[in-house]
Homo-oligomer: A and B are copies of this chain.
Amino acid sequence: MPDVIFPLDSARKFEDQEKIGHNRWHPEIPPVATVKPGDSFRVHCREWFDGAIVNDDSAEDILNAPLLTVHKLSGPFAVEGVKPGDLLVVDILDVGPIPQEDAGPLAGQGWGYTGIFSRNNGGGFLTDQFPDAYKAIWDFSGQVATSRHVPEVSYVGLIHPGLMGTAPSAELLGRWNRREGDLIATDPHRVPPLALPPEAGHALLGSLPASEFDRVAGEAARTAPPRENGGNQDIKNLSKGSRIFYPVFVDGANLSLGDLHFSQGDGEITFCGAIEMGGFIDLRVDVIRGGMDTYGVSENAIFMPGIIEPRYSEWIAFSGTSVTLDGTQHYLDSHLSYQRACLHAIDYLTKFGYSPEQAYLLLGSAPIEGRLSGVVDIPNSCSTVYIPTAIFDFDVRPSAAGPYRIDPGMGAPRSRNA
């Protein structure tokens, strides 16, 4: 096991640890540790809400999830000698839930959660159809997750960090704030909002001197969106054995990461869609000097997934086109066509006895694949969603005999006042 360069004590809040992480992007957040190219090291990660979501049969915590406080990021980690223009090579050697702790109040201690956020507090991919808050708790048994809230299904973990990235330069951060501000300005009171501007009240900026705090907190970018530096890409295939190449914008690269997921489908469609948890990650870093220019990577990570993803050979797939539920034709809108494909999958699963919310939680957390199948056949794009049949305890394929009926159990908890 490599040395732990960012330890977390499960008994303490994220702000009360030996080393303090951050929840905003800014070039001036000081590194918590410095490593060398070629070094391997372990980092602990806290789940994104730092314990606000609990292992029970209520969804009140999801309804009131403290979105201003996320994400709890471990880092930044500086890599000696790395310069802007380089590519930072990051190998994910290993990643998993909190070791040696299989019970406790923190997600990652033997369990995790998936949430459907309320439209008024975050929303999600299908928020028009699912405006209320719901939750599912998942129990881990070795490599497998099952849920009392979504019965008769189990997933082999495809554990990955939802969020990893390098620090932006001041110039890049400025661009982010300008373009996102411009977007917000087009509809400033929308619910959910179009984007998330800097917010100083809940900013956590590591060991930044107090004298700089207010200025930096007022500029620092929120961590929800993926951007040029990588960030919250939520790519389910960044699992064990993956190699990622990040563009470098500041001296030392200043890598940060967090938001571990036990499993997730392409799109993380319920927003809090993966099986969220804390845990550990073992990384090795290296550098390709001048690699941004050499390989034409001016922005956005490139990567090679690992070769030990769960192996599935049979899938049932659903397609959708860019026509709204009320019959309006949109022009090559792949976001819409993926929504329609997912809604078709939900319609299908409800015929087996799942509630629509259970089916939606399943699609967010299972290792589904979302594909951009057709993007040029005007006016309809075609997106498809593939579900591995082996995750179900029963035969989920269509047949003349009709669908098996599950016992839906207690169902997915819903918040009272959602």
User: Which residue numbers of A lie inside 8 Å of B, CB to CB?
Assistant: 1-2, 40, 87, 89, 91-94, 99-102, 110, 123-125, 141-144, 156, 175, 179-180, 182-183, 192-196, 224-228, 232-237, 240-241, 245, 266-271, 273, 282, 284, 288-289, 291, 294-321, 323, 327-335, 338, 340-341, 344, 347-348, 350-351, 369-384, 386, 389-390, 397-400, 402-403
Question: B295–A377 contact, CB under 8 A?
Answer: no
Question: A304–B315 contact, CB under 8 A?
Answer: yes
- CA A132 – CA B228 in complex, angstroms? 29
Residues in chain B near residue A124, CB distance under 8 A? 376
- CA A389 – CA B269 in complex, angstroms? 29
Residues in chain B near residue A332, CB distance under 8 A? 335
Question: B156–A93 contact, CB under 8 A?
Answer: no
Question: A100–B99 contact, CB under 8 A?
Answer: yes
- CA A300 – CA B327 in complex, angstroms? 14
- CA A337 – CA B183 in complex, angstroms? 16
A143 interface neighbour in B241, B266, B372, B389, Cβ under 8 Å: B241
**Nearest-neighbor residue (CB-CB) of A225 within chain B:** B380
A348 interface neighbour in B92, B270, B302, B348, Cβ under 8 Å: B302
Question: A335–B375 contact, CB under 8 A?
Answer: yes
- CA A291 – CA B323 in complex, angstroms? 23
A321 interface neighbour in B225, B267, B369, Cβ under 8 Å: B225
**Nearest-neighbor residue (CB-CB) of A351 within chain B:** B296
Question: B329–A182 contact, CB under 8 A?
Answer: yes
Question: B235–A382 contact, CB under 8 A?
Answer: yes
- CA A347 – CA B390 in complex, angstroms? 26
A144 interface neighbour in B192, B241, B331, B381, Cβ under 8 Å: B241
- CA A101 – CA B4 in complex, angstroms? 12
* A-B contacts, 24 listed (Cβ < 8 Å): A1-B100, A1-B101, A2-B102, A93-B143, A125-B375, A142-B282, A143-B306, A143-B308, A194-B378, A226-B321, A227-B321, A232-B377, A233-B382, A235-B319, A235-B384, A267-B374, A270-B376, A271-B377, A295-B351, A302-B344, A309-B311, A313-B314, A332-B335, A335-B381
Question: A268–B304 contact, CB under 8 A?
Answer: no
> In the complex where A307-B156, A382-B226 touch, is A183 in contact with B329 (Cβ < 8 A)?
yes
Question: A193–B329 contact, CB under 8 A?
Answer: no
A307 interface neighbour in B180, B313, B399, Cβ under 8 Å: B313
Question: A334–B334 contact, CB under 8 A?
Answer: yes
- CA A334 – CA B325 in complex, angstroms? 19
> In the complex where A268-B374, A378-B193 touch, is A304 in contact with B288 (Cβ < 8 A)?
no
- CA A269 – CA B348 in complex, angstroms? 29
- Taking the closest CB of chain B, its distance from the CB of A285, in whole angstroms, is 12
Residues in chain B near residue A372, CB distance under 8 A? 266-267, 334, 338, 370-372, 383
- Taking the closest CB of chain B, its distance from the CB of A172, in whole angstroms, is 11
- CA A178 – CA B183 in complex, angstroms? 32
- CA A196 – CA B390 in complex, angstroms? 41
- CA A326 – CA B333 in complex, angstroms? 20
Question: B271–A376 contact, CB under 8 A?
Answer: yes
- Taking the closest CB of chain B, its distance from the CB of A106, in whole angstroms, is 14
- CA A1 – CA B96 in complex, angstroms? 11
- CA A143 – CA B309 in complex, angstroms? 12
Question: A226–B305 contact, CB under 8 A?
Answer: no
